[in-house]
């Protein structure tokens, strides 16, 4: 629960930029890239989430570099890396079906108090650093040439953002697994977009909805588990409920305006 609050806030806040930049599918696909890193950690007996973060960051650098030199879209590059990573991860796990299941769906019960505390601090740092570069990234989305003229180092800023997303995704895997963590980066932000006309409100609502989806899903799983071994599906249901409510409110506001 403690970890879910911080992960939800960080995923929602960072995801608001993903949605603005029309890179929602990138956030989802990037989460699957962690699978080989998790597999290596399991096979070589070190913390699999460190492996996931390392693999995510290396992949982010590769994608960033290829995109800079070829101008191929992020969506296309991440799509290619996603399928490759998924195949490699399944190959590495082999017959370790229990470990593969945990990687795909997460297992919050295995998170220790110390690792939860470290993860929470990392999430806070990720939010703070994203806030520092938020306006720069928005300006880059509007006009890269204008951003350059303002002295913004576009490539370096984009790389930092990709790294921060990688960190949050790696931490989020502990709660909902590689299959569903992309959900926390996307759905809270699109729900917030339905209810926001100002950037600050949009970013804040994205974080709030991320917190509600993640912590609400874990609470629901704890009290009404439906015999589910993992909280991921409940997190998704709570997030979708938030999105549906935001759609209804948005529709009602348009009718009355």
**Once rounded to an integer, what is the mean pLDDT over residues 6-10?**
90
15 vs 27: CA distance, rounded Å: 8
In the chain, the number of structural domains is: 1
Question: Which CATH number does the domain housing residue 182 bear?
Answer: 1.10.3470.10
* Alpha helices for the chain (secondary structure H): 2-20, 24-32, 35-44, 48-70, 74-93, 97-105, 113-142, 144-149, 154-194, 199-223, 232-256
Please tell me the predicted confidence (pLDDT) of residue 109: 66
Is 70 exceeded by the pLDDT of residue 27? no
Of residues 156 and 26, which shows the higher confidence score? 156
Contacts of 248 (CB under 8 A, 6+ apart): none
User: The whole model's pTM is what?
Assistant: 0.85
Rounded to 10 deg, the angle between the 199-223 and 232-256 helix axes is 140
Residue 164 structural domain: 2-256
* pLDDT confidence tier of residue 178, bands split at 50, 70 and 90: confident
Mean pLDDT value across residues 69-83: 72
Buried b (16+ CB within 10 A) or exposed e, 42-52: beeeeebbebb
Predicted pLDDT of residue 99: 72
Q: What is the arithmetic mean of pLDDT over 144-168?
A: 85
Tokens describing residue 113:
């108090």
Residue-wise over 95-109: b if at least 16 C-beta within 10 A, else e? Answer: eeeebbebbbbbbbe
């Amino acid at each position: 629960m403690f970890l879910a609050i911080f992960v939800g806030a960080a995923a929602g806040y960072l995801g608001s930029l993903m949605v603005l930049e029309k890179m929602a599918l990138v956030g989802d696909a990037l989460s699957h890239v962690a699978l080989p890193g998790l597999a290596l950690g399991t096979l070589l007996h070190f913390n699999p989430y460190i492996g996931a973060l390392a693999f995510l960051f290396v992949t982010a650098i590769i994608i960033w570099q290829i995109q800079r030199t070829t101008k191929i879209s992020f969506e296309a590059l991440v799509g290619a890396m996603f399928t490759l990573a998924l195949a490699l991860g399944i190959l590495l796990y082999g017959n370790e079906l229990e470990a593969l299941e945990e990687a795909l769906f997460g297992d919050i019960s295995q998170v220790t108090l110390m690792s939860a505390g470290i993860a929470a601090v990392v999430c806070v740092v990720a939010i703070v650093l994203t806030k520092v570069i938020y306006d720069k990234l928005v300006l880059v989305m509007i006009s890269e040439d204008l951003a350059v003229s303002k002295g913004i180092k576009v490539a370096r800023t984009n790389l930092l953002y990709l790294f921060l997303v990688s960190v949050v995704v790696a931490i989020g895997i502990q709660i909902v697994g590689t299959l569903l963590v992309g959900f926390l980066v996307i759905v809270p932000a699109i729900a917030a977009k339905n209810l926001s006309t100002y950037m600050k409100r949009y970013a804040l609502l994205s974080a709030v909805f991320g917190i509600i989806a993640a912590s609400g899903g874990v609470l629901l799983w704890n009290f009404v588990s439906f015999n589910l071994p993992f909280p991921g599906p409940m997190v998704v249901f709570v997030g979708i409920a938030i999105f549906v409510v935001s759609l209804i409110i948005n529709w009602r506001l348009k009718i009355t305006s």
